Structure 1
Amino acid sequence: MLLPLVAALLVRQPIDPQQPGVGAPSPDAAGPVISEPAPAPPPAPPEPEEVDRRKQTVVTSSRSERKLEDVVVATEVITRKQIEAVGARDLGQLLQQHPGVELVQTFRGTGMRLQGLDPEYVLILVDGERVSGRVGTTLDLGRFSLRDVERVEIVKGPAAALYGADAIGGVVNLITRHVQRPLELGARGTFGTLLEGDFRANAGTKQGPLEVRVGGGYRTRNPYDWAPADAATSGSGIRRIDGDVALAYAADDRSRLWLRSQYTFRDENAVDLNPSGAVLDRRQRQEQFDVSLGGRKQLPNETSLLVRGHFGLFRDQLLQDQRGSRALDDYSQNVNRLYEGVFQADHRLGNHALTGGLEVLGERLTSARLEESPVGRIRGGAFLQDEWDVALSSDGSGPKLKVAPGFRFDLDSQFGGAPSPRLALKLDPIPALTVRASVGLGFRPPSFQEMYLRFTNQGIGYIVAGNRNLTAERSTAVNVGVDWRPPIDGWVFSASGFHTRLNNLINITAGGTPDPDNPVTFSYENVARAYTQGIEVNGRFRLPMRSTYLDLAYMLLDARDQTRNRPLEARSRHRVNAQLSTRYRPWNLEATVRGSWVSGRPYYLGTDGGMANVIGLEEREVWAPSYFDLEATVTYKLRGGFDVFVNSYNLLNAGDQQFNPRPPRGVLGGVQWEY
C-alpha cells in the first residue's frame, strides 16, 4: 500500500515552470557526594592499540561478514566516530580529503574517482543495494546524508566478480546503524557560513526481538560565487529534506528480518551563463524513494541464507529560465525506476568459505529527451567466490595464505553475456606483514542517455544524439598491496600499486564547429582506449602525546588516453593527504585537522569555448593550478551526552569558477546530543 502511494506522489509533483555524547561518570558508590572538590581522576587508560581496528566486521569485499584482518581484498573503513570527528554533512564532504579519492565537481552534482577512474566506474551501495539516479554519468554524493550511517566501507579496484557492472574502479558501501539498546535518541544542529543549516534527529528502540528506528533531517545553504563580476554562480543553493523508517525482527542471533524505507527531497537553485551571453536561472529538484525488504537465516550446518528485494524510484526535474527572453527556456523530467532482487548463500566447508548467489536487476527510464521513452533493461547475474585457507604448515603456526577465486556471469537484455572473473590472494608470511594481490575483469554497459539521448542546444548550435549500436566498455585490472605493522604501538604502513586498462571506451565524436545556423550532431562511439596506473602509500603513527595520531598518504597517478595520446582530463598526478587527530581528556576536548595538496590537472577546452573532449574539434590544453585544502574541527564534550563543536573548512580558500568550484572558506558551529 505504501509503495504505490509514494510513487504516485513523486510523479505528480512537478516544478512549477512559473516559479523562480559521552555520559557523565557515575558517583562514588562508597559514600555520599560532598561539595568539596573531587580528587584528580586516575590516569586515563591508554587508547586502543591500532591492531583493534583490524577486528572490525566488514562485508563489502566478500559480500559476507569478515573481520577486517581476514579480508582477502583490502577494505578501508570510515567509522561513525571518524564521521563525527570531521564534521561532514554529506558523503562528498566526508570523502573530500580521503586518501586515494578525487572528487569531480559538476553543475549536476559531485561525483568521485577511484584509482583515476571516473564516477561511472565506481559503484555506490547502501547496505549492499544499488542506488538509482545517475544524472549523466554522476551519482551526486551530496544526496547521501550521513545521519543514519554507522560506517563507510571502500574497496578500491575491480569488484565486478561479485557486484557486476559499473564496479570497475571500486565500490563504496554505506552501512546504516542498528538499534542496540531499549531507547536511543539523538539530535544534531549546525549553522554557519552561507547561511548553511543542518538539522537532524533520530530515535530507536529495541524491545525483545523487535527493533524500530526513525530519523529525519533538514539542510539548507545559499549559493556561492567565485566570480562575482558576472551573473553566474559557482555553486548551487540547496534545500534537502530526508527521512527514513527501519523495522527489524530478530527472534534469535541466527535470524533477522528487516524492512527499511527512506525518502529524500532535494532542491537546488543557481544562475548559469550561456556561452552566447544569455543568463539562465536554473532550478533542479531531485526526489528519491527506496524500500527494501529482506531476511537472513543462519542454518545449523555452517550455512547462511540471504534473500533481499529492493525498489528505488528517482525523479529529476530541471528548469532553465532565460532572463528577459523565452528563447532558451527549457524544462525536462527524468523518472528512473530500479528493481533489485538477491538470493545469496554462504557455506563453510573445511578450509573453504563459499559465497554464491543470484541477482536480478531491472531499470526503466522515462524522459522526454530520449528518442523513445520509456526505455528499460533487465540484467541477471550469477556469482560464486571461494575463500580458501591454504595450509602452509602442519601446525598452522607458519605463514598463512588465503586464495579467493571468484567468477560472475551477467546476462543483459541489451548486451548479452559478460563474464567477470577475479583471482585474489592474501599472504601473511609473518604476523606483522600482509601481502594482497588481485587481478580481474570488469565491464560497464552504455547508459540510457548514451544510447537514446536526443538533445538540441539552439543557443550554441549543436545536437547530441545517442547511438544504439554501442557495446559495453571492458577493463582488465591488477592490484597489489602490502601492510606492515612494526613493533611500535599504533604504527601501521601500507603501500599499493594498481593498473587498469580500459577498452571500447565511449567518447563523444563529431566533425566541424557548432553553428546556430547549421547545427552539428554529436554522437557516442566506442572509439577510445585508456589506462590508469599508480601507487598509493599510507602511514599511521601514534605520537608520544597520549591519544594523538598522525595519518599521512601519498598517491601518484598516471592516467592516459591512448587514443589521443595525452593524459586523461582533470586528473592530478600527485596528491598528498595528512590528518592529525588528538584528544585531551582533562579538558574534554577533541580536535581533528586534515589537509590535502593536489597537483595541477590538464583540461582540454574548445578554442571557441564550446564542447570539450570531442574528437574532430580543435582544442587547447589548459592546466588548472595546484591547490592546498585545509580544514579543522574541535569538539568539546559536556555532561549528559552533549557535544559542542566548531568546523572550519577550506581554510586557505582554495577554489575557482572554472576548475574547482567548491564552496569557499567557511565555518560552522553546532551542538550534538545522544542518549
Structure 2
Amino acid sequence: MKTKIVLFYVLFLFGISRANDLTGTITDAQTGAPLPGVHISIAGTKYGAASEPDGSFTIKNLTPGEYLINIHLIGYKKGSRKITLSEPGEATLNIALSEAPWELDKVVVTATRTPHLLKDVPVTTEVITKEDMAATGALTVDQALDSHVGVTVDNDLSGKGATIRGIDPSRVLILIDGHRVIGQVRGSIDLGQISLSNVDRIEIVKGSGSTLYGSDAMGGVINIITSKPTQSQSLESSIEYGSFKTFDPEFQFEAKRSKIGLTFSGKHEESAGFDLDKSTPHTNGLEATKRYNLNTKISFSPKESFYNDLSLGYMHERKQWIESEWFEPLQKTFIYDDYEWNNRYDIATSHKYVASPKTEIEATLHGSYYDHQWSKYTRANIEDDSSLTTDFITEASFQANHAISKKLILTSGADISSAGLKSTQIVGTRRKVSFGDLYLQTEYIPFKDFTVLPGIRWERHQTYGNHINPSLNLKWSPSERFTLRGTASRGFRAPSIKELYFIFDHSAAGYIVYGGGGVLNPEKSNNYSLTSEINYGRRGLHRLTFFRNDLSNLIDFNLVEFTPTYWRGVYKYQNIVKARTQGLEWESKVKVCTGWDLSFSYMFLLAKNLTDHTVLINRPRNTAKFSNTFYVPSWNAGLTFWGTYHDHKLWTSEGDTPDRVSKIYAPKWIVLNLNLYKRVFNHVEGYFRVENLANSVNATYGYWPPRSYTVGLRLNLFNGAGSGQSNKIDQ
C-alpha cells in the first residue's frame, strides 16, 4: 500500500514538474502603452486570463502541446497566435495590438451584390455590427435599427416596420442573406419577428434598390446577414428576464470540421404585454406575446473554389389582446378577445463557384411560406370574426461577376419568382403572380480615386408587363480622408396581391374595403442623394447626406361612398397619392479617448403629399439620435447610454378629423436608455438594461414601452480552435 502511495506521489510531482506557465504583456502597437482588460483565451480549453493594469497576464499549468491563443479587446483588431509548448517551465508571449479602423474595413455586399470594403463601395452603405447590437442589448432586428440614423421603427397594426427617409415600411425591401422576407399581412414586415441570435451584421442601403432587387425597394434595402461557421466548435447562450414578465433565452452553436460547417441557433421570447390606459376596455399598448425562432446553416466546400450553403428557418408567434368596438346603431360598446398566430418557414440554398481569379458565379434557390391566423371572440367565448392568410414565394437567381480588367468589373444576373396569396379576404380566395428580370451593372474606374457604377434592370411582371429601372452611382475619393458619393435611381413597386384583390367586409363595424383590381398601376419613384464623408481612421467619421425622393402613383385605400349598411364608408385601393420626401442626414462617430466612443446623428425631413398639398402623417421634421459607449478595461466593464429625440408630427390630417377642418399633432418624444455590462471570469458576462429612463409614454400616439428593467447573463460555454484563417497580431 505504501509503495502505491509513493508511486502516486512521484507521478503527481512528475506531472506538476511538466506543467508550463504562459506569461506575457499586451501593449498598444502605436503608443507602446500597456493594455489592461484584454481577454486572452486558449481555444478548446477552459484556460484564459485578463491582462492586468500593467498589461501583463499569466495562464498557469499548461501541459506541453500546440495551442491557439485568441486575443480580444473592444476597439482593437481581434487576432490569434499559434504557439508550441515543449519544455516544462515558463513561456513568454508579448503581443502588440493595433487599433481597428472605424467601421470602414468591413466587407459589405448589398449595395452592389459584390464584396467591397465599406470605404471602397461606390454606393453609400451603413452597417450595424454584432458589437453594436450587443452594446444596446438588442435581441431583434427592430431593436437594432431603432437607434440608426435615417431609420424610424414604427409600431402599428403590421407590427414593427422600418421607415427610411420618410418612405414607409411597405416600400422598404427586407432581405435575409439576399432573399426576400415575406409576411406582409397588414402592409409591412414585422421586424420584431426576426431574431438576432444568428445575425452577423445588418446592411442598410437607402434610396431605390430596384435596379438590383426589383419591386418593393423604392425606399431602400435592409439586408440581414447571418453568421457563417468559422470556429471548430463554440457555444454561446444568453438569458434575460425583465419588466412585463419578459423572458428571453437564446443560444448559438457553431462547428466546423475541414470542409463542412454548421451553425444552429434558437430563441424564445415571452412577454405579458402592458396596458397604458386601463380606463378604456381595450389594450392600449403591447399585446401578450410568445415567439420562437430556430435557424440553421450547413456549409460544404469540397474545394477552395466551390462553396455551398443550406439554410433553414422557422418562426412561430402567438399574440393576445383586448379589442373594443363602438356600434353606432345600438349605441353600445362591444368587447372582444383577439388572438393571432403566425408561422414562417424558410429554406434557401446558395452555390458559389470561383471559376478563376477574375470570374465568380453564384446560383441560389429560396422558398418561404408564411401563414397568419386571426380570431376574435366575444366575452361569451363565441367566435365573432376570423381570417386565415397564407403567403408564399419561390425564387431562383443566377449571377456572374467578371473582372474584365483592374478598372472594369461586370455584374450580370437573372431572377425568376412566383408569389402567391391564399386568404378568405381576397376575391377567389387564392391568387398567384409570376415575375422575372435581367440586370446588368458595370463598375468602371476611369482614373484613380473615381468610380462610375451604372446599372439597369428589365423586369417582366405577369400583371403589369415590362419595367425598366436604371441607376447611376458615382464615387470620388481625392484623398484617403475624404469621399464624395452621388446616386440617381428609379424605383417601382408592383401592387401586392392584397391591394389587387382584397375584400374585407366588416359590416358589424360599418365599413368595407375593396381591392383596386386591374386598374391599379405600379408605384414609381425617382431617388437622388449626395453624400460627403470625412474619416480619421479609428478616431472619427463624419457623413453628411442630402436626399430627395419623388414618389408617384402611391396606392392607398380611398373613401368612395357611404351607405346605410356601411355607415363608416366604402373604401377602395386606388393610385391616389403623389408625394415627395427630402432633407439631410448628418452622422458623426468619434473616439473621444481609449474606451469612450461617441456617435450622434440628425435628420431633417420634409415629407409632403403633393396631391392635396399637405404634410405626410407620422413623419417628424427633426429627429436626433446619440450613443455613448464607455469601456473600462481594468474593471472588465462597460456602459452604453443612448437616446432618441422625435419632433412633433402630424398625426391626423384635416380630412380625417371629426370636424374635417382641424389637424391633430403628436407631441415631441424623447427616449433615453442605459445598458451596463461586466465580464466576470473569462466566459461570463452579466448586464443590466433600463429602457425609457424618463418613462416618456403616450398611449394615444404609440409612445411606448414605458420604463422597463432587464437583467441578463451571456455565456461563452466553449470556444474551439479557429478554422486556420486567423488574423495575425502585430507584435
Work out whether the TM-score is over 0.5: yes
Confirm or deny: 8 A CA contact 1:76 1:153 kept in the other structure.
Answer: yes
Q: TM-score, normalised by structure 2?
A: 0.83
Alignment-derived partner of residue 141 in structure 1 = 191
Give, in angstroms, the shift of residue 341 of structure 1: 0.6
- In the alignment of these two chains, the number of paired residues is 630
Alignment-derived partner of residue 467 in structure 1 = 516
Higher strand share: 2
Give, in angstroms, the shift of residue 46 of structure 1: 9.3
Give, in angstroms, the shift of residue 518 of structure 1: 5.1
Q: Does the C-alpha gap of structure 1 residues 227 and 45 become closer, same or farther in structure 2, counting only changes over 3 Å? A: closer
Q: Which amino acid aligns with 1:673?
A: L
1:121-162 CA distance string (max 9 Å, x none): 100000000011112211101111000000011111111110
Is 1:656 matched with 2:698?
yes
Alignment-derived partner of residue 171 in structure 2 = 121
* Counterparts of 1:514 and 1:542, CA distance in 2: 63
3-state DSSP class of the match of 1:460?
coil
Q: 290, 314, 339: which one pairs with 2:394?
A: 339
3-state DSSP class of the match of 1:204?
strand
3-state DSSP class of the match of 2:477?
strand
Give, in angstroms, the shift of residue 537 of structure 1: 0.6
Q: Does the C-alpha gap of structure 1 residues 605 and 500 become closer, same or farther in structure 2, counting only changes over 3 Å? A: closer
Q: 312, 315, 335: which one pairs with 1:261?
A: 312
Extract unaligned runs of 5+ from structure 1: 1-21, 28-32, 611-616
Confirm or deny: 8 A CA contact 1:133 1:314 kept in the other structure.
Answer: yes
Give, in angstroms, the shift of residue 515 of structure 1: 5.2
Confirm or deny: 8 A CA contact 2:689 2:710 kept in the other structure.
Answer: yes
Give, in angstroms, the shift of residue 245 of structure 1: 2.1
Q: 41, 58, 72: which one pairs with 2:55?
A: 41
1:147-185 CA distance string (max 9 Å, x none): 000001111111111001111111001111111121111
1:221-265 CA distance string (max 9 Å, x none): 012111111121121111011112211101333221111111110
* Counterparts of 1:666 and 1:519, CA distance in 2: 38
Alignment-derived partner of residue 387 in structure 1 = 443
Confirm or deny: 8 A CA contact 1:212 1:248 kept in the other structure.
Answer: yes
3-state DSSP class of the match of 1:51?
coil
Q: 348, 360, 363: which one pairs with 2:416?
A: 360
* Counterparts of 1:668 and 1:415, CA distance in 2: 50
Alignment-derived partner of residue 678 in structure 2 = 636
* Counterparts of 2:381 and 2:131, CA distance in 1: 51
1:570-599 CA distance string (max 9 Å, x none): 000000111001110000001111111100
* Counterparts of 2:154 and 2:566, CA distance in 1: 34
3-state DSSP class of the match of 1:510?
strand
Is 1:547 matched with 2:603?
no
Give, in angstroms, the shift of residue 300 of structure 1: 1.6
Alignment-derived partner of residue 109 in structure 1 = 159
Alignment-derived partner of residue 450 in structure 2 = 401
Q: Does the C-alpha gap of structure 1 residues 514 and 221 become closer, same or farther in structure 2, counting only changes over 3 Å? A: farther
* Counterparts of 1:482 and 1:38, CA distance in 2: 42
Alignment-derived partner of residue 229 in structure 2 = 179
Q: 289, 309, 313: which one pairs with 1:238?
A: 289
* Counterparts of 1:453 and 1:74, CA distance in 2: 37
Alignment-derived partner of residue 411 in structure 1 = 460
Q: Which moved more, 1:490-499 or 1:252-261?
A: 252-261
* Counterparts of 2:136 and 2:217, CA distance in 1: 28
Q: Which moved more, 1:582-591 or 1:247-256?
A: 247-256
Q: Look at both structures and tell me which one has the larger radius of gyration over its CA atoms.
A: 2
Give, in angstroms, the shift of residue 282 of structure 1: 1.0
1:638-661 CA distance string (max 9 Å, x none): 223111011111112223222124
* Counterparts of 2:308 and 2:220, CA distance in 1: 29
Q: Which amino acid aligns with 1:336?
A: D
Alignment-derived partner of residue 7 in structure 1 = none
Q: 712, 724, 727: which one pairs with 1:670?
A: 712
Q: 556, 559, 577: which one pairs with 2:625?
A: 577
Q: Does the C-alpha gap of structure 1 residues 256 and 462 become closer, same or farther in structure 2, counting only changes over 3 Å? A: same
* Counterparts of 2:54 and 2:574, CA distance in 1: 72
3-state DSSP class of the match of 2:135?
helix
1:81-109 CA distance string (max 9 Å, x none): 11111101211111122111111111331
Confirm or deny: 8 A CA contact 1:462 1:515 kept in the other structure.
Answer: no
Alignment-derived partner of residue 130 in structure 1 = 180
Alignment-derived partner of residue 15 in structure 1 = none
Confirm or deny: 8 A CA contact 1:275 1:609 kept in the other structure.
Answer: no
Confirm or deny: 8 A CA contact 1:190 1:671 kept in the other structure.
Answer: yes
Q: 589, 614, 624: which one pairs with 2:637?
A: 589
**CA RMSD between the two structures:** 2.3
Alignment-derived partner of residue 649 in structure 2 = 601
Alignment-derived partner of residue 12 in structure 2 = none
Give, in angstroms, the shift of residue 290 of structure 1: 0.2
Alignment-derived partner of residue 83 in structure 2 = none
* Counterparts of 1:485 and 1:527, CA distance in 2: 44
Is 1:532 matched with 2:581?
yes
* Counterparts of 1:331 and 1:661, CA distance in 2: 29
1:168-206 CA distance string (max 9 Å, x none): 111001111111121111111010100001111121210
* Counterparts of 1:471 and 1:643, CA distance in 2: 54
Confirm or deny: 8 A CA contact 1:24 1:640 kept in the other structure.
Answer: yes
Is 1:55 matched with 2:105?
yes
Q: Which moved more, 1:104-113 or 1:182-191?
A: 104-113
Alignment-derived partner of residue 607 in structure 2 = 559
Q: Which amino acid aligns with 1:558?
A: L
Confirm or deny: 8 A CA contact 1:631 1:648 kept in the other structure.
Answer: yes
Q: Which moved more, 1:508-517 or 1:194-203?
A: 508-517
Confirm or deny: 8 A CA contact 2:561 2:570 kept in the other structure.
Answer: no
1:439-484 CA distance string (max 9 Å, x none): 0100011111211111112233111111111010010110110001
Alignment-derived partner of residue 3 in structure 1 = none
Give, in angstroms, the shift of residue 275 of structure 1: 3.7
Q: Does the C-alpha gap of structure 1 residues 40 and 657 become closer, same or farther in structure 2, counting only changes over 3 Å? A: same
Alignment-derived partner of residue 347 in structure 2 = 291
Q: Does the C-alpha gap of structure 1 residues 58 and 279 become closer, same or farther in structure 2, counting only changes over 3 Å? A: same
Q: 144, 160, 166: which one pairs with 2:216?
A: 166
Identity %: 25
3-state DSSP class of the match of 2:478?
strand
Give, in angstroms, the shift of residue 632 of structure 1: 1.1
Give, in angstroms, the shift of residue 301 of structure 1: 5.0
Q: Which amino acid aligns with 1:644?
A: G
Alignment-derived partner of residue 273 in structure 1 = 324
